[in-house]
């Protein structure tokens, strides 16, 4: 066996991970649920801000409304981040800021 063959075997073995136990899966699901719940609570607080405060963050009222009516387990923070970045990109190109 050549040295390169041995090296490939080590790399392959290093990438394998044992399957998570039932406890790990339940714990991870609980953490995800808690994070989603906390994000929803924070988004509800965003809806209390006025339009100027939302615009300072790069958001508009329709972005917050859209996220609040989306699926519970969708990543609301990611959606708002993308919306704010797209609005900033349009603004820099001279487009309308909504």
Q: Going by C-beta distance under 8 Å and a sequence separation of 6 or more, which residues neighbour residue 91?
A: 97
| The model's pTM | 0.56
pLDDT at 78: 83
Cα 59 to Cα 80: distance, rounded to the nearest angstrom: 7
Residue-wise pLDDT tens digits, 1-41: 455 555 555 555 556 677 889 999 999 999 988 888 888 88
């Amino acid at each position: 066996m050549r040295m390169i063959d041995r090296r490939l075997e080590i790399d392959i073995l290093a990438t394998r991970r044992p399957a998570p136990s039932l406890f790990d899966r339940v714990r991870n699901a609980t953490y995800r649920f808690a994070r989603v719940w906390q994000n929803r609570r924070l988004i509800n607080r965003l809806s209390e801000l006025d339009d100027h405060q939302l615009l300072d963050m790069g958001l508009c009222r329709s972005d917050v409304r859209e996220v609040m009516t989306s699926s519970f387990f969708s990543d609301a923070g990611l959606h708002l981040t993308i919306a704010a970045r797209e609005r900033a990109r349009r603004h820099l190109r001279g487009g309308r800021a909504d």
